[in-house]
Amino acid sequence: MIHVESFCDDSTHANTYLIEEEGHVIVVDPANHIKVLQKYIGNRIVDGCLLTHGHYDHFRELEHFLRLYPNCQCYLHKEAKRKLFDLNMSYASAFGCKKIPEIEENRLVLFSSATKVKVGHFWVEIMITPGHTNCSSMYVIENAIFSGDTLFKGSVGRTDLWTGNPVQQKQTLQNIRSLKQNYIIYPGHDEATTLAEEIQSNRYLK
């Protein structure tokens, strides 16, 4: 069974998650605390990195992470790739970042439709969840969903940013609502919740 650890810092307010099982780990949204994470990971094998969407506050330390773990690849929606290398589309410039990350093409694994992939030790189900951005994706591993800025505890991601789309968001939320299992939701910001709790109390899922 997987074990999930969350790391958040005050500057981005974004959550970085470490998923671990049997000496293997996956990192979701390398936003912050990569040094802390590295210490915490220790000798365990890092199988890869999952990006929930192409906003800078969620991938801020991706370049650094990929340098630290040269055998790792980062999984992301193909539309998120454009944002990685565009300081305006990713809102990196809004965070005062002036440097486009140096990431080689072969370090990125792009997808554009729902699929299930084996990332090292882990089976990862990819859900395409446009709305907050056109590249928003959720990752399902066992009973956990890493929802990025698609779904929060009691709220959802805003749709007024670049490539946001309220109509698509509505459809995405309907799809999430129809999921059969009671998943634990690990969002891109704020605290974790469960799907059952959100269906009951999150007004955006009504």
Min. distance of Cβ 12 from Zn ion in angstroms?
Answer: 8
| Cα–Cα dist 72/106, whole Å | 10
DSSP state of 26: E
Comparing CB distances to Zn ion, the nearer of 134 and 202 is 134
Comparing CB distances to Zn ion, the nearer of 22 and 191 is 191
Q: Which residues contact 153 (CB under 8 A, 6 or more apart)?
A: 185, 187, 190, 191, 192, 193, 197, 198, 202
Comparing CB distances to Zn ion, the nearer of 11 and 71 is 11
Min. distance of Cβ 159 from Zn ion in angstroms?
Answer: 10
Min. distance of Cβ 53 from Zn ion in angstroms?
Answer: 6
Min. distance of Cβ 180 from Zn ion in angstroms?
Answer: 27
CA-wise closest residue to 168 among 126, 137, 203 = 137
Q: Reduced to 3 states, what is the DSSP secondary structure of residue 90?
A: coil
Comparing CB distances to Zn ion, the nearer of 23 and 166 is 166
CA dist list (Å): 136 to 85, 102, 172: 17, 22, 10
Min. distance of Cβ 189 from Zn ion in angstroms?
Answer: 5
Which tokens belong to 141? Answer: 């591993």
Comparing CB distances to Zn ion, the nearer of 47 and 55 is 55
Min. distance of Cβ 59 from Zn ion in angstroms?
Answer: 10
Which tokens belong to 36? Answer: 């802390």
CA dist list (Å): 17 to 87, 158, 194: 24, 21, 16
Q: Which residues would be at the binding site for Zn ion (CB under 5 A)?
A: 55, 57, 149, 188
CA-wise closest residue to 57 among 129, 157, 125 = 157
Which residue bears the tokens 């919740």?
A: 193
Comparing CB distances to Zn ion, the nearer of 48 and 131 is 131
